[in-house]
Structure 1
Amino acid sequence: MIPIQDSTPRHCPPVATWTLIGVNLTIFLFETWIPEPLLQRLFYLFGVVPARFVHPDWAAWNGFPADSLWPFVTALFLHGGWIHVLANMWTLWIFGDNVEDAMGPWRFLAFYLACGIAADLAQIVANPEATVPMVGASGAIAGVMGAYYVLYPRARIVLLVPVFFLPFFFEVSAFFYLAFWFFEQVFSGSLSLGARAVGGVAWWAHIGGFLCGVFLHRPFLAVRRRCGPGRDPYRPLGFSRYSERY
């Protein structure tokens, strides 16, 4: 199921969302220009390799810098291919603007990074022996989806479901779609436990990011925001406002 659009109108330009998409795409274009051996080195140095943080002796033996925590942030801006980056940015575009609307750009950016770091930690806890780098924004975006799940449960999501190369479109509630997506991650993540060096999807990063978004979004909500003409600049932002909208 591919989300196409949502029904939630936004009131402010999603500056932080646009910026994150632009930065991710720019960095990915840079990735396409560098040689493959250098790209692999880049992923290992700036991606999150769980064993690097769990086994410092192994990390030192393999030449990782000591005591560097930057990969928890830099990994969020690296992607492994066109499908990876475009799928992530498309999902961020659909859900990010409305969550940013509720938080404001700076709070949203801090929330996004916090969810990404929580996602990295969740993957390390679930698979501490993994020796391949984890890269991508999907953990942080899962946090955005978790916040959307709470703030806009009755929003409508238009989904594209390809069946034998024929496109079918369905409209479901955000509550249903995001709950289904989350339990799909839990199921797949449970099957992936114990994999040491095999690459693939970091399911537990998705789970950790989503739960972070669900439970930790409240402190990031803006109480008052000023926006463009036609909007009450002093109308408080909160759960009741969103529950009234649908």
Structure 2
Amino acid sequence: MAGFIPLGDASRPLNRFALVTTLIIVLNVWVFFQELTYGDSFVWAWSAVPIRIIHGRALITIVTSMFMHASWMHIIGNMIYLWAFGREIENAMGPIRFAAFYLIGGIVAMSAQVLGDPFSRIPSLGASGAIAAVMGAFLITFPRDRIRTFVFFFIFFRITLIPAALVIGFWFLMQVLNVGVVAQAKTGGVAYLAHIGGFLFGVITARLFINPQRMTYRRLN
């Protein structure tokens, strides 16, 4: 088994507390515990089911589904990626712009899945699409930054610095190669098309949300 886990940007100081990123993580954790408490009825009520949405029903689930997760590994993995990349983008955009960017990115991502498989009855849930938008914005904003990354290969592991363009580029390539595959979990999954939709939204719109006065140009490495 091999792979990598991004831990955060090692190239520039984070000079403001990432309030919105922290609140998003807290909200995701709270919703996940609601899922554990109320079970399948809660998941079916608030996750996005494409066939319901194209018939104009439960449209709010396009938003609520981006705060839900199918398993412990699902939420832990997503929150690690959000923490690794979200704080710097929030720092560059400002909390209000970042909150708007995150929500719109998640909506675009979930809409991409619905359009890609409009008659699916599989519940779709997860923050991956919105986080993909954050990663797309990071690639455009800080492409040369080095990401502190936990790299592992079977029993061997180390923490090393890898260029953001390589980390995020490899991640995006995996999404493209897996288009049409749904990550199945206990109650559903998120199509890779949603990841691609969110990522492209981030790449295309990041500069519209970035506040130049908040950018940190001093690199540490």
Matched, 1:162 2:166: no
For residues 45 and 61 of structure 2, the distance between their equivalents in structure 1, rounded to whole angstroms, comes to: 7
For residues 189 and 47 of structure 2, the distance between their equivalents in structure 1, rounded to whole angstroms, comes to: 14
AA aligned to 2:35 is E
User: What's the TM-score once normalised by structure 2's chain length?
Assistant: 0.88
For residues 134 and 168 of structure 1, the distance between their equivalents in structure 2, rounded to whole angstroms, comes to: 34
Match in the other structure for 1:2: 5
AA aligned to 2:114 is I
Shift of 1:41: 2.4
> Is this contact kept in 1: 2:52–2:58, CA < 8 A?
no
User: How many positions carry a matched residue from both structures?
Assistant: 213
Shift of 1:199: 4.1
Match in the other structure for 1:21: 25
**Structure 2: gaps (5+ residues):** none
1:189 match: secondary structure: coil
- Of 107, 130, 138, 2:128 maps to 138
For residues 22 and 82 of structure 1, the distance between their equivalents in structure 2, rounded to whole angstroms, comes to: 14
Match in the other structure for 2:51: 51
AA aligned to 2:179 is G
For residues 31 and 200 of structure 1, the distance between their equivalents in structure 2, rounded to whole angstroms, comes to: 15
Shift of 1:51: 1.6
Matched, 1:220 2:209: yes
**Structure 1: gaps (5+ residues):** 57-65, 224-235
AA aligned to 1:4 is L
Match in the other structure for 1:205: 194
> Is this contact kept in 2: 1:44–1:132, CA < 8 A?
no
**Structure of greater relative contact order (alpha carbons < 8 Å, 6+ residues apart):** 2
> Is this contact kept in 2: 1:91–1:141, CA < 8 A?
yes
> Is this contact kept in 1: 2:8–2:83, CA < 8 A?
no
Aligned structure 1 segments of 4 or more residues deviating by more than 3 angstroms:
198-201
User: What's the TM-score once normalised by structure 1's chain length?
Assistant: 0.79
> Is this contact kept in 2: 1:185–1:203, CA < 8 A?
yes
**Bigger Rg, structure 1 or 2:** 1
Match in the other structure for 1:179: 169
> Which string of whole-angstrom CA distances, capped at 9 and with x for unpartnered residues, describes residues 195-232 of structure 1?
9xx94442111111111111012222225xxxxxxxxx
Shift of 1:2: 1.2
